[in-house]
Amino acid sequence: MGKDTTDGCFFFKKKAAPSEKTKDLILEEAKKHFAEKGYEGASVRHICDAAGANVSAIKYHFGGKEGLYRECFLHFGEERLTQAQKLLTKSESVEELQLRIKLFAENFISDALANYHATKMICREIETENPLIQDIFESTFLKVYTTLVDFITDAQSKKLINPDADPVTTSSLIFNTMTTALRSDHVAQKYFNRTLKNIEYREKFINNIITIVFNGIKIQEQ
């Protein structure tokens, strides 16, 4: 029996990765490249080379570079909004209010760490107000924030927190503390040996947020 030559035969070459798998591989590599180089600096060819895909796959799956860039934000934003709406449902007690904010913070931070490159992209593009993703930002990431504002507002209407505590300011304190900690985590790890990647430290950090915020917005005893 002759030598098997199927690997070199045009009709029997190894099959390419399934379409959806190729799409996922491109997305993961795109997040890395866009996070490091930005939209203008990232190369479609380099992204495809890293994903082991043909450049034509960008056009097929995403319609082009801009579509690929937007897709990196869309899926992550929709998932963040879904989780926020699930966790920040109306509370009937101070204890439930605190628990839901803690669950939201835990989910927010752990998901941001798990999606490091997407998180880095979001922080940069929100600051620059990139028009390429403005609609996605408004329909997903901004709604995560307004969901928290609505959650705090509802608690205030039920007299669970101080009526003088501004819901927008309170939400900003929670949101900005988490995002700043995520963005500067590498600095905290380098100089203070603290990182949110450490589960014990992350829990302590979140508990501190809850304590500080609620000491400020709780109804003061007469």
The predicted structure's pLDDT at residue 20: 78
The predicted structure's pLDDT at residue 221: 59
The predicted structure's pLDDT at residue 4: 45
| CA angle 78–55–114, rounded 5-degree value | 35
CATH dotted code for 14-63? 1.10.10.60
Mean pLDDT of successive 10-residue stretches along the chain, which has 222 residues: 44 52 93 91 94 92 94 92 96 95 96 90 82 92 96 96 94 94 94 96 96 84 55
Per-domain boundaries in the chain: 14-63, 70-217
Tokens in use for 179?
A: 């995002």
Residue pair 39/130 in contact (Cβ under 8 Å)? The answer is: yes
- Give the dihedral sign, CA 66/75/109/88: positive
Residue 21: C-alpha distances to residues 62, 101, 104, 188, 221 (Å): 14, 36, 31, 36, 58
The predicted structure's pLDDT at residue 220: 64
Domain range 70-217, CATH class: mainly alpha
- Give the dihedral sign, CA 185/188/191/195: negative
Residue pair 218/211 in contact (Cβ under 8 Å)? The answer is: no
The predicted structure's pLDDT at residue 145: 96
The predicted structure's pLDDT at residue 14: 45
The predicted structure's pLDDT at residue 72: 92
In angstroms, rounded to a whole number, what is the distance separating the alpha carbons of residues 12 and 180? 53
pTM over 0.75? The answer is yes
The predicted structure's pLDDT at residue 208: 95
The predicted structure's pLDDT at residue 9: 46
Cα 41 from chain centre: 22
Q: Could you tell me which residues come within 8 angstroms of residue 171 by beta carbon, excluding any fewer than 6 positions away?
A: 145, 148, 149, 152
